[in-house]
Chains A and B, each alone.
Chain A
Amino acid sequence: GAGVSQTPSNKVTEKGKYVELRCDPISGHTALYWYRQSLGQGPEFLIYFQGTGAADDSGLPNDRFFAVRPEGSVSTLKIQRTERGDSAVYLCASSFLQSGSSDTQYFGPGTRLTVL
């Protein structure tokens, strides 16, 4: 079956602009995660959803970042007033969590965001 997909694959924007990054999880996966990967670093957690609600948003760096998952499937990460420091690869992952067990996260190809 299809894996996690993310659009766009690349996004170049100017400082101060608003961007939206989209993630389509694996069909049937209930949990969806956003991570950010800067050059030379491992992915860093931003937020995750269990169904439609954000279960943990402790990794969002500030209030310019916001994410939604209105129907429990597709998610959009929104960044307002972008800054050059927001440049990174934004990764999405999904998992199918069965009650009481541990989950395995499957990653998408990422969106490379460049803020000029």
Chain B
Amino acid sequence: AQSVSQHNHHVILSEAASLELGCNYSYGGTVNLFWYVQYPGQHLQLLLKYFSGDPLVKGIKGFEAEFIKSKFSFNLRKPSVQWSDTAEYFCAVNAPTGTASKLTFGTGTRLQVTL
């Protein structure tokens, strides 16, 4: 069975600080990896995804993530956060079976950016 760990439950940063949110997964085969974001009062939105190819993935709003297969990790980064990045961030994984596949999510990281 797949599992996802997000070790940072609540992160508080000042504007312009750099961000790195950890995500580790447990699964023996090939995986697809995702980061979703949920802004206050809004629904889950896709931030970025990795299916194959270049392990450094760039997403919207200046976010990027790096897939390190040997570490089973897919950490999210942003060089300089903004107050508007305050949100909950979820890492998720599924198996690329060639058919639709359920996502397994981590418990989420709440990011609070202060002015």
Contact = CB atoms under 8 A, between A and B. Distances in A.
B43 A108 contact: yes
A103 B46 contact: no
B100 A97 contact: yes
B32 interface: yes
B51 interface: yes
A85 interface: no
A44 B107 contact: no
Interface in A73-96: 91, 93, 95
Contacts of A40: 107-108
Contacts of B96: 102
A103 B43 contact: no
A40 to B, nearest CB: 7
B98 A44 contact: no
Interface of B: 4, 32, 34, 36, 42-46, 49, 51, 90, 92, 94, 96, 98-108
Contacts of A104: 34, 46, 49
Interface stretch (A15-23, A48-56, A64-72): A48-56
A62 interface: no
A45 B102 contact: yes
A59 interface: yes
Contact of B100 (A35, A42, A48, A110): A48
Nearest to A41: B107
A91 to B, nearest CB: 7
Contact of A43 (B32, B90, B99): B90
Task: Identify the 5 closest CB pairs spanning chains A and B, nearest first.
Answer: A42-B105, A31-B100, A107-B44, A45-B102, A109-B43
B99 A97 contact: yes
A44 B106 CA distance: 9
B99 A45 contact: no
B10 to A, nearest CB: 11
B104 A95 contact: no
A21 to B, nearest CB: 15
A100 B6 CA distance: 30
Nearest to B94: A102
Contacts of B90: 42-43
A93 B100 CA distance: 12
